[in-house]
Amino acid sequence: MTGRARVFGDDINTDYIITSRRKRESLDPLVLRHYLFEEIDPRFAASVEPGDLIVAGKNFGCGSAMEVAVTAVRGARIGAVVARSFSRTYYRNAVNNGLLPVICDTSRIREGDKIAIVGHEVHNVTTNETILAEALPKIMLEIIEAGGPVPYFRRWGRFNVGQVTDLPTKE
Amino acid sequence: MGMTLAEKILARASGRERVSPDQIVVARVDLAMSHENADLVRKSFLEIGVARVWDPSKIVIIFDHRIPAESEKTATTHKAVREFVAAQGIAHFYDVGRGGICHQVLPENGLVRPGMVMVGTDSHTTTHGAFGTFATGIGATEMAGVWAEGRLWFKVPSTLRIEVEGEFRPWVSAKDLILYIIGMLGADGADYRAVEFDGPAIRRMTVASRMVLTNLAMEMGAKVAFTPVDGVLLEYLRPRTAEPLETISADSDAAYERVIRIDAGEDLWEPQVACPHSVDHVKPLSTLGEVAVHQAVLGSCTNGRLEDLEVAARILSGRTVHPRTRLLVIPASQQIYREAMHLGYLETLVAAGAVINPPGCGPCVGVHQGILAAGETCISSTNRNFLGRMGSKDSLVYLASPAVVAASAVLGKIADPGAIVEESELCLMEV
Q: B166 and B118, same structural domain?
A: yes
Q: B290 and B169, same structural domain?
A: no
In B, which residues are within 8 Å of A42 by CB distance? Answer: none
Answer yes or no: do A15 and B151 touch at CB < 8 A: no
pLDDT tens for residues B232-268?
999 999 999 999 999 999 999 999 999 999 999 999 9
Q: B172 and B305, same structural domain?
A: no
Range of the domain at B279: 273-430
CA–CA separation, B402 and B172 (whole Å): 10
Q: In the listed set B234, B263, B292, which residue is the last one of a domain according to the structure?
A: B263
- The A residues from 14 to 33 touching B (CB cutoff 8 Å) are 15-16, 19-21, 23-24, 27
Residue B312: HSE in the Cβ half-sphere, 13 Å Cα cutoff: 41
DSSP state letter for A135: P
Q: Does residue B196 fall inside a structural domain?
A: yes
CA–CA separation, B84 and B78 (whole Å): 10
Asked if the model's pLDDT at residue B34 lies above 50, the reply is yes
Three-class SS of residue B372? strand
Find the range with the poorest average confidence among A139-153, B73-87, B113-127: A139-153
Write down the mean pLDDT value for chain B. Answer: 96
Taking alpha carbons only, the member of A115, A126, A123, A127 closest to residue A53 is A115
The interaxial angle of helices B306-316 and B207-216, nearest 10 deg, is 100
Phi/psi of residue A124, each to 5°? -90, 100
B43–A contact, CB cutoff 8 A: no
> Quick count: other Cβ atoms within 10 Å of Cβ B14?
21
Q: B230 and B187, same structural domain?
A: yes
- The A residues from 40 to 79 touching B (CB cutoff 8 Å) are 40, 58-59, 62-67, 70
pLDDT at res. B423: 60
Q: Does residue B398 fall inside a structural domain?
A: yes
In B, which residues are within 8 Å of A66 by CB distance? Answer: 37, 139
In B, which residues are within 8 Å of A27 by CB distance? Answer: 40
pLDDT at res. B367: 82
Alpha carbon separation from B135 to A5, A98, B5, B65, B269 (Å, rounded): 36, 25, 12, 20, 32
Q: B283 and B257, same structural domain?
A: no
Residue at A74: amino acid letter: R
Answer yes or no: do A20 and B139 touch at CB < 8 A: no
Domains and CATH numbers, chain A: 2-134 (3.20.19.10)
Rg from Cα positions in chain A? 16
Q: In the listed set B229, B263, B297, which residue is the last one of a domain according to the structure?
A: B263
pLDDT tens for residues B296-337?
999 999 999 999 999 999 999 999 999 999 999 999 999 999
pLDDT tens for residues B402-424?
999 999 999 999 999 999 987 65
Q: B254 and B204, same structural domain?
A: yes
Asked if the model's pLDDT at residue B363 lies above 80, the reply is yes
Q: B285 and B259, same structural domain?
A: no
Q: B300 and B179, same structural domain?
A: no
In A, which residues are within 8 Å of B137 by CB distance? Answer: 65, 89
Asked if the model's pLDDT at residue A162 lies above 70, the reply is no
Q: B403 and B284, same structural domain?
A: yes
Query: At B152, which helix (H) or strand (E)?
Result: strand B151-155
Q: In the listed set B263, B293, B310, which residue is the last one of a domain according to the structure?
A: B263
Give the mean model confidence (pLDDT) for residues B23-36. Answer: 96
Nearest CA in chain A to B47: A150
Answer yes or no: do A87 and B278 touch at CB < 8 A: no
pLDDT at res. B2: 95
% residues pLDDT > 90 (chain B) = 95
In B, which residues are within 8 Å of A65 by CB distance? Answer: 121-123, 125, 137-139
CA–CA separation, A138 and A135 (whole Å): 9
B48–A contact, CB cutoff 8 A: yes
Q: Does residue B161 fall inside a structural domain?
A: yes
CATH number of the domain enclosing B168: 3.30.499.10
Answer yes or no: do B137 and A167 touch at CB < 8 A: no
Q: B233 and B93, same structural domain?
A: yes
Q: Does residue B294 fall inside a structural domain?
A: yes
Three-class SS of residue B142? helix
Written as one string, the DSSP assignment of B231-293 is HHHHHHHGGG-SS--------TTB--SEEEEEEHHHH--S-EEEPTT-TT-EEEGGGS---B-
The secondary structure of chain B in percent helix, strand, coil, rounded to multiples of 5, reads 40, 20, 40
Count the domains in chain B: 2
Q: Does residue B212 fall inside a structural domain?
A: yes
Q: Does residue B12 fall inside a structural domain?
A: yes
CA–CA separation, B131 and B112 (whole Å): 6
pLDDT at res. B427: 54
pLDDT at res. B430: 46
Taking alpha carbons only, the member of A17, A4, A159 closest to residue B148 is A159
pLDDT tens for residues A61-117?
999 888 999 999 999 999 999 999 999 999 999 999 989 999 999 999 999 999 999
Q: B405 and B288, same structural domain?
A: yes
Q: Does residue B307 fall inside a structural domain?
A: yes
B370–A contact, CB cutoff 8 A: no
**End-to-end CA separation in angstroms for chain A:** 24
- Nearest chain A Cα distance for residue B181, angstroms: 17
Q: Which residue, among B103, B147, B155, would best test binding to A if mutated, counting the most A CBs under 10 Å from its CB?
A: B155
Answer yes or no: do B188 and A168 touch at CB < 8 A: no
Taking alpha carbons only, the member of B422, B377, B383, B345 closest to residue B171 is B422
CA A66 to chain centre: 14
Q: Does residue B268 fall inside a structural domain?
A: no
Nearest CA in chain A to B49: A154
Q: B254 and B174, same structural domain?
A: yes
